[in-house]
Structure 1
Amino acid sequence: MVKAMHDMADHTRAEPAAPTAGTPRPHGTRAVARAVERSAAAVRDRLRAGELGSLPVVLVLGVVWIVFQSLNANFLSPRNLSNLSVDIVGTGLMAVGLVFVLLLGELDLSVGSISGLAAAIFAVLNVNLGVPDWLALVMGVLTGTVAGTVQGYSFAKARVPAFVVTLAGLLTWNGVMLSVLGTNGTVNLDENGLVAKLTSSYFTDPGAAYGLAALGTGLVFLSSFLDRRRRKAAGMPHRSLRGIAARTAGLAVIAFAAAYVLNRFQGLPLALLIFLVVVAGLDVVLRRTHYGRQVYALGGGVEAARRASLSVTRVQTTVLAVSGTMAAIGGLFMASRITSVSQGSGSGVLLLNAVAAAVIGGTSLFGGRGTTWSAVLGMLVIQSISSGMALTDTPTAVQLVITGGVLFAAAVIDSLSRRSQEAHGRA
């Protein structure tokens, strides 16, 4: 409405005298200036209302990269960035599953144990018992699905906070994993097997990376355009075509730059391709399906969701099932990276990193706000810190302190953002 009033005011002003021949016409310049001014005003309004989006995490990532590149010139080398793109996959998949749980305002503490159990199931079936790769892999993933479903149903029916149910799961699934591995405690994977190749295979043809960049950019533009047309037809606020074009152009620059860097080393990693496909697919599930809208609605308030006739039990159960499944897949990728499974699999700071990645990326701890891409950005921050620390021989203790500080800052920003949204009537 305000935009329309501005446009009407522009049309009702007296037109200046027609320029003489050879005098440059200022109309195009004024139009561009007005468009830039309106865009800047819209961004300022969103920031004041607490709608920060991914801006904070992008700024943090930029600072991290600048600092470590200044400390070690190899940080932004093609080799290190390619390794980083593979290292984020295992924990990143777990973080993507946690996004579903966080959207409900809950927390799943069992993902680390489930990831270790799934990897142990695969290793014992495949290496010790001779079960074919594909079948052992399916059994490993189903282990995570079943574990998550059991926890989700218990959470939904007993109405006990999810973190309590999953804390019990953390202990239970870790005990089962130790039992599965037995007294030996370590199983080495076949380096030529299916799972081991997940993180060691690359598409060396440069066209693969550039093709993925072009496909991703095109799909983002098409999705944004169709969303604009739908919202416009319904009389809802929508992005301008110039805004969509600018956003797509920015994404294209990033995507093709990443493809160029990857091609300077070994090409497009298979693990990264799988990761991006999974993230994009789950993003569609969350933002474009009826089920996804139910998840967001449930995050806004359980009682309100019940009164709206939503199947609360089904949504809560399936969300924990998704988290368990993604934890299992992530565990298989982590086992692939080190080609072994041991009694320490799924332990340590793995759970903390997965939770931190989702929260740092912008998923709200209060529920109802976040996307699967949030986990990708957060994981990039955490793994960049880890990679930079390794290159600069910084003690692990310092890495934990820095990661904890970033997580704390993200939680504070999330809280302040929510308070600002409530003050503006948007939460």
Structure 2
Amino acid sequence: MSIVNQNTQVTAGSNGVETPSCYSKQSLGQLLRNNLGFLPVLFTLIIIAVFFQITTHGLFLTPRNLTQLILQITTIGTLGLGVVLVLLLGEIDLSVAAVATLCSVVMGMLSERLGYPAWIAISAAIATGAMIGFINGFFIAYLRVPSFIVTLAASISYSGLLIYLLQGQATLIINNDFIIGLANNYQTGSLVGIGLPVLVLTLYIAGTLSTNYQRRKMHLTPSSSLRMAATIGTPVLIVIAALVLFHAYLGVPQALLILASLILLCWLLLTKTPYGRHVYAVGGNTEAARRAGIHVVGIRITIFTLCSTLAAIAGILATSRASAVASQINPTLLLQAIAAAVIGGVSLFGGRGSVWSIVLGALIIGSLGNGLDLNNQPVEIKQMIEGAVLLLAVTSDALIRRAQTRTGR
């Protein structure tokens, strides 16, 4: 089956300006990949939600459970956001879970053992994450050591360092009210609880429309009406439904507002600045980016710095929610962060993906875990299913990339 699609090719006119040319045929599979984008991932999430809604006898989609689900995925989402940035370069960071735990230990020690104010402890934890990321980036970008080796070695080293810092203490209890409130407070007022989500949504819509307008202005192929409707309409419906559900319980979780703000900032950085275009260029073709005058070393160092900084914030949110710091690293946290990024649609090969994809990816990972918990399934079942979903996502990404290579895309 083929579908006629307009404006898919560009040719040079008599005035030397490139203009959209005639119709070209596109298979249904190509239309789904190029024009529907995240919709297959969204359909997967809907299927999971319907399945667990039925098997849990209506418990899955209750306001209380959905609020708990959001709180469960804020750590994965924040950690996965950093993973997305690294994957856009075609690299990998295996140290994010260890960095998150180590930075939370730094915050806990400064707050509980040394008695520093919360803002100093939190700032020190974030600064520690940034320093770690800079060191990782230096070895990877400047010394050209493979990112797999550097971050694996870092993960092992930081695992030992955090145990050394805690001096044999298995758990460090957090008593600071401000730190605990970061991930446990709710916003019910219209200014923050409603105003901030609406602001984020408005900026997203404005940015999407602006990008499409610029493509038309530059005589490039704009997004189809179907894709624009899906790209704008889906987030609007999700935000409205989420606000109704949250306010039916306790309000909008503050941790969700923090995550949404971080995603928005990273999206603006990657799509509205020359730096962001350079990131995609380096991930798409490093040698071509270098010949175009892009400072590849600097891009890589800053991305790894941002990744570990976001890992530190994820560790802070996890500590806030648990009101404690553990000396053991969550063995599935790294898998879940990478899985959320890849399932959401970020390519493992670099140069393709959006930071918004972490939302759907984290929701799928979180929904699987939450739904299986409600069905009283053991941990081993959860891990097998999450691993299978990750393998399916990576396989799909590889097949799509192969098909695009054959068609010259």
TM-score by length of 2: 0.90
- The answer on 1:281 being equivalent to 2:250 is no
Structure 2 counterpart SS, 1:167: helix
- Counterpart CA distance in 2 for 1:262 and 1:363 is 29
- Counterpart CA distance in 2 for 1:4 and 1:335 is 51
Deviations 1:357-398, CA, capped at 9 Å, x for gaps: 111111101111111111121111011111111111001111
- Counterpart CA distance in 1 for 2:27 and 2:232 is 17
Against the structure 1 CA distance between its residues 352 and 247, is the aligned structure 2 distance closer, same or farther, given a 3 Å change threshold? closer
What is the aligned length?
A: 390
Give 1:331-370 correspondences, 5 Å limit.
331-344=315-328, 346-370=329-353
- Counterpart CA distance in 2 for 1:244 and 1:371 is 15
* Preserved contact between residue 88 and residue 351 of structure 2 (Cα < 8 Å): yes
Q: 1:378 corresponds to which residue?
A: 361
> How far apart are 1:335 and its partner, in Å?
0.8
**1:302 is matched by which residue type in structure 2?**
T
- Counterpart CA distance in 1 for 2:170 and 2:382 is 28
Q: 1:391 corresponds to which residue?
A: 374
* Preserved contact between residue 5 and residue 26 of structure 2 (Cα < 8 Å): no
Q: 1:259 corresponds to which residue?
A: 243
**Percent sequence identity over aligned pairs:** 36
- Counterpart CA distance in 2 for 1:104 and 1:298 is 6
* Preserved contact between residue 57 and residue 377 of structure 1 (Cα < 8 Å): yes
Deviations 1:256-313, CA, capped at 9 Å, x for gaps: 1111011110011111011001001101111111111111111112222222221111
- Counterpart CA distance in 2 for 1:259 and 1:48 is 30
- Counterpart CA distance in 2 for 1:111 and 1:172 is 12
- The answer on 1:318 being equivalent to 2:290 is no
Q: 1:298 corresponds to which residue?
A: 282
Q: 2:116 corresponds to which residue?
A: 131
RMSD: 2.3
Q: 2:150 corresponds to which residue?
A: 165
TM-score by length of 1: 0.86
Q: 1:182 corresponds to which residue?
A: 167
Q: 2:67 corresponds to which residue?
A: 82
Structure 2 counterpart SS, 1:219: helix
Structure 2 counterpart SS, 1:199: helix
* Preserved contact between residue 118 and residue 331 of structure 1 (Cα < 8 Å): yes
- Counterpart CA distance in 1 for 2:133 and 2:119 is 21
> How far apart are 1:111 and its partner, in Å?
0.5
Moved more, 137-146 or 227-236: 227-236
- Counterpart CA distance in 2 for 1:161 and 1:51 is 35
Structure 1 residues not aligned, in runs of 5+: 6-37
Q: 2:79 corresponds to which residue?
A: 94
State the structure with more CA Rg.
1
Structure 2 counterpart SS, 1:194: helix
**Match among 135, 140, 148 for residue 150 of structure 1:** 135
**2:360 is matched by which residue type in structure 1?**
L
Deviations 1:200-244, CA, capped at 9 Å, x for gaps: 111123675443453344323322332233222222222467864
Deviations 1:313-338, CA, capped at 9 Å, x for gaps: 11111111111101111011111111
> How far apart are 1:406 and its partner, in Å?
0.5
- Counterpart CA distance in 2 for 1:336 and 1:91 is 14
- Counterpart CA distance in 2 for 1:411 and 1:424 is 20
